Structure 1
């Protein structure tokens, strides 16, 4: 049973009713209470509804309620904060933020919660990681990665400029795809502030590697990705909202996504999704994500970065002898880079989905993160290929941790999961792909436009 008590000055009570919650009436002795359901920390419908309709929006962190009413439009992580109004967001908050973020914010009340042991276990593990330097970035490691990555771009230009052989040109397309592939990982790292742990610097670098180098809007991707992290494999059938990076119009990988698909086109696409999954990722993955970011992006800085991206792409293509070779070259690079889009999906697509109302209420956030992810087992020398996505469980639990520390963090996360009785799912790349396809086939047989 979670219960919130807010003590207010008498003058505030007489001049404002914006904080009325639960029964919408002032309590005696200047107290108002939000009751939160008896099932773990589930906010009761009456309190939650009032918070949605009233002026004051509260979010729970470390046993304290914070008023975020005026902060919501300025939240650096975007609108995802709205999904945690009226909830205990302690776990997700500490996974995304440095420890001193709240030092200038005063709580407006307290709550008590009988916590799931997973919360304390992973909080202690995070403390251990911080104290032992797991969140510290190796700039030497990144310098080496940058050097190798930009050598790939240089090789692409060299293949196009220094040779007239068509097969050498197309080898350049492979190097270009490899450059994009690695830049996607850098965008991911810096948008999570894994580099300098300073939001402004890291976001600029994220835009550089994402928008300028890869050609995908870094800011648009960041907001979608943060929603994906906070509410992994989560859906709300009532509002038609779902984890934006786990839902596509042509795929329905879980029964809880079925209500979001209601067209005849989607029906036929889902019926063959196990057949089209790999070809779609490889052939259309890059084009689709570029078009999505074009359509959604409104930031002027990102559009300037888009112009820079297409300027250097056109410069590279200008060295090719014909329009035909330009088309083939870019298409081949896009197809090679399509492997990245498979990597992005196989860690989640065959895992359970959750209802939004259950997250941070009846479903513990840390448990959800472990259960919603698959780790890819591979030798150390293949870590460059996966860009940290092979340690997806560690990354989702501790997204601020630099990826070069995931491997040594792995054994500690496994140990905690074993102690808590949480299944730690890991398999090889090929097994993950096969499991995903088999799961998509199973879902395709269950899907119907009229489930009744």
Structure 2
């Protein structure tokens, strides 16, 4: 019969896992996304990481219902033989459907307006403190306010990167450039590139760029074997310098976090000046130039170099709160080596994330990221709903015997330092072994 369905096996699908031959399966239908990967708004990394696999759960997580209509043009005509859906995936898809029918992905409440007003107040207070006072302590306080404004504006940038927090896509892109490039000096293009890869390959030591911090940090002794970063396309070399720094990482963690923003600036420049295809490169560069115009000008208004340096350090130190929080969400969770797999996508998210428990009145402080598992499972869900869905997610994890870890901010810090210390002690053993071997 002419309309008889054609099938391929999972093994056949796995063969199409290269940039020049990239197939995925969604709901049992097989799609050729080789050419689309280059135009994919989320970048090619998520598609490459799930190439040759079923990607249904990830597709549901990252795309609105309107995206399904665009799949047909990529359909190969093949269906996946013996296609089955696990019980946990069935429950996850049911939840996603219920949230969608309830309009939760579209209802953003007034978080954006409140956050913008708060950020504007912080920026104005900072500028007034620098320009209208001669007090050293007011200047330092202004630096701290600037850092706190960067934290809050980054939460908005994060929101705009996952869903349209503004009324149109155009306004949303404008919000991204303003919140990321112009106000914080960190390119939204760089954020999308790394953050989408992180979500897909949560806590994979060789695929998740957010766990690849050598020579300063190693969350697992598996990084001592100089594994290859599939994200950066280079070896994560565990050389003598890395070994020495990792030996003391549980002591250097907080000091390094205080200046971690420097690395984000560096990564922004490396991407925008690279040969990689960068969406809206010119717009991103323009936004970065705006930041590197107003920020040095503001700092130059301070009376002397001592205050200028301390002002910058104060602002960077306050932003460490955000850097630390992200580490708390992932560093002491389970890690693995290898590519992410689509058929246990839900399980990987529960394994690689840790929630931070707090009172509802502190939600503004954490920007929604305290509900890290809920965010990873439903990245398009506005942060105002994360607390509401948390009990449902907890019950789903309990039903399928999956971890749901929620620690207080203090407990999460303790657990993170324990993780870093455990890896540091293993690195010290290697250091002494090398010393005894070579004298």
Superposition TM-score, scaled by structure 2 size: 0.87
Residue 178, structure 1, aligned to residue 158, structure 2: no
Q: Within 5 A, what are the aligned runs for 1:41-440?
A: 44=11, 48-49=14-15, 51-52=17-18, 56-80=21-45, 81-106=47-72, 107-108=75-76, 109-111=78-80, 112-138=82-108, 140-196=110-166, 199-235=169-205, 241-249=206-214, 250-259=216-225, 260=227, 261-282=237-258, 284-298=259-273, 299-357=281-339, 359-361=341-343, 364-440=344-420
Matched-pair contact (CA < 8 Å) for 1:189–1:195: yes
Matched-pair contact (CA < 8 Å) for 2:160–2:172: yes
Q: Which runs of 5+ in 1 are unaligned?
A: 1-6, 10-28, 37-43, 236-240
Provide the aligned length of Structure 1 versus Structure 2: 408
CA distance in 2, matches of 1:396, 1:180: 23
Matched-pair contact (CA < 8 Å) for 1:129–1:135: yes
Matched-pair contact (CA < 8 Å) for 1:256–1:353: no
1:39-82 deviations in whole A, cap 9, x for unaligned? xxxxx3x75346538x5421111111111121111111112211
Matched-pair contact (CA < 8 Å) for 1:231–1:356: no
Give SS of 1:445's match. Answer: helix
CA distance in 2, matches of 1:273, 1:120: 42
Query: Cα distance 1:289–1:358, how it changes in 2: closer, same or farther (>3 A)?
Result: closer
Superposition TM-score, scaled by structure 1 size: 0.85
Aligned to 1:238: none
Give SS of 1:103's match. Answer: helix
Query: Cα distance 1:431–1:268, how it changes in 2: closer, same or farther (>3 A)?
Result: same
Shift of 1:446: 2.9
Shift of 1:386: 0.7
CA distance in 2, matches of 1:138, 1:103: 25
Matched-pair contact (CA < 8 Å) for 1:207–1:219: no
Give SS of 2:31's match. Answer: strand
CA distance in 1, matches of 2:61, 2:162: 11
Query: Cα distance 1:95–1:200, how it changes in 2: closer, same or farther (>3 A)?
Result: farther
Q: RMSD between aligned alpha carbons? A: 2.3
Shift of 1:216: 0.8
CA distance in 2, matches of 1:320, 1:213: 19
Q: Which has the larger radius of gyration?
A: 1
Q: Which runs of 5+ in 2 are unaligned?
A: 228-236, 274-280, 435-439
CA distance in 2, matches of 1:243, 1:126: 25
Matched-pair contact (CA < 8 Å) for 2:27–2:56: yes
Shift of 1:398: 0.3
Aligned to 1:3: none
Shift of 1:431: 0.5
1:351-406 deviations in whole A, cap 9, x for unaligned? 11133346225xx1111101211111111111111111100010000000011111
Query: Cα distance 1:104–1:115, how it changes in 2: closer, same or farther (>3 A)?
Result: closer
* Structure 1 residue ranges (4+ consecutive) displaced by more than 6 angstroms after TM superposition: none
Give the stretch that moved more between structures: 216-225 or 306-315: 306-315
Query: Cα distance 1:197–1:398, how it changes in 2: closer, same or farther (>3 A)?
Result: farther
Give SS of 2:64's match. Answer: coil
Shift of 1:200: 4.5
Matched-pair contact (CA < 8 Å) for 2:5–2:79: no
Matched-pair contact (CA < 8 Å) for 1:137–1:196: no
1:296-351 deviations in whole A, cap 9, x for unaligned? 22422111111111222133223322233222211211112112110111100011
Query: Cα distance 1:358–1:335, how it changes in 2: closer, same or farther (>3 A)?
Result: closer
